[in-house]
Amino acid sequence: MSDTALRTSPKWETDARENLKIAIRKLQRPLADLVERDVNEGDTRIFVNDFLRVALEYDQYSDLTTEFAVRGEFADYGLRIDQQLVAFIEVKRATQTLGARHLRQVETYAVKEGLEWIILTNGRVWQVYNVVARTGQQVATTLVFEVDLLGEEAPAKKVDKLFHLHRSALKRQTIAELWKQKAATAPAALARVLQSDSVLTAVRTEIWRKSRFKPELKDLEDALRSQVIRPDLLLP
């Protein structure tokens, strides 16, 4: 975020971002040590708990619930805002690569509890997903953002992403706005726009302006569907 943007941001946001910046710098050394020693999942949870408290400013007694029971199974963390459950967190060993199997595990918990946010982490990498489970439809789980605390990405970029997990931001649902923006420009969304009547008409007008050839809308649509848009993004 630019200096100008920071000056015009509300105090709660600038405070959250500044706290995140300081905490990430402070916790990088102990995190690197955990990764180097290849600690187990239990020790990784100690770091995750510290990150949630110190960097993201959750209260470990009122906001965090460990081993949250979900119909006979247990999520590593339940995350609450003002006593309302808003997300599940699944923790893996510090050196373990996060994969689809781990995601499916916590996705199941979220669907059962009707939650739309899940966090998958090994302490170093933090992945945030949106979950949509509509009756009669396949569950749609989409990555919103990923941050590697020890990665080469600029510290400011890490703060920009993780800010949306900060307690103050999550309370104000900034992540929902971030998700709305990401979803609006996702490949499937752009493909739907390209196949809309208004866009096809505008494209035909531009083709006419440049070539004095005016294709039929159906022919133009067929060309887009067969040569431009990926098959998995085509409208039914």
Q: What is the pLDDT along the chain (236 residues), one digit of tens a residue?
A: 545 454 588 999 999 999 999 999 999 999 999 999 999 999 999 999 999 999 999 999 999 999 999 988 899 999 999 999 999 999 999 999 999 999 998 999 999 999 999 999 999 999 999 998 876 678 889 999 999 999 999 999 999 999 999 999 999 999 999 998 887 887 877 888 888 899 989 999 999 999 999 898 888 888 888 888 888 777 76
> CA 29, 34, 38 angle in degrees (round to 5)?
150
Query: Backbone phi, then psi, for 91, in 5-degree steps?
Result: -110, 135
Any idea what the CATH number is for the domain that residue 56 is in? 3.90.1570.30
Residue 94 lies in domain: 3-184
Provide the pLDDT for residue 177.
Answer: 92
232: which DSSP letter?
G
Q: 220 and 151, same structural domain? A: no
Provide the pLDDT for residue 37.
Answer: 96
Q: 225 and 138, same structural domain? A: no
Q: Give the torsion sign (CA, 152, 154, 156, 161).
A: negative
Q: 105 and 90, same structural domain? A: yes
Q: 191 and 176, same structural domain? A: no
Provide the pLDDT for residue 48.
Answer: 97
Query: Backbone phi, then psi, for 10, in 5-degree steps?
Result: -65, 155
Q: 204 and 129, same structural domain? A: no
Q: 9 and 60, same structural domain? A: yes
Query: How many domains would you assign to the chain?
Result: 2
Q: 139 and 24, same structural domain? A: yes
Q: 206 and 104, same structural domain? A: no
Query: Backbone phi, then psi, for 55, in 5-degree steps?
Result: -85, -40
Q: Flag whether the pTM goes above 0.85.
A: no
Q: 223 and 179, same structural domain? A: no
Provide the pLDDT for residue 4.
Answer: 46
Q: 105 and 71, same structural domain? A: yes
Q: 115 and 20, same structural domain? A: yes
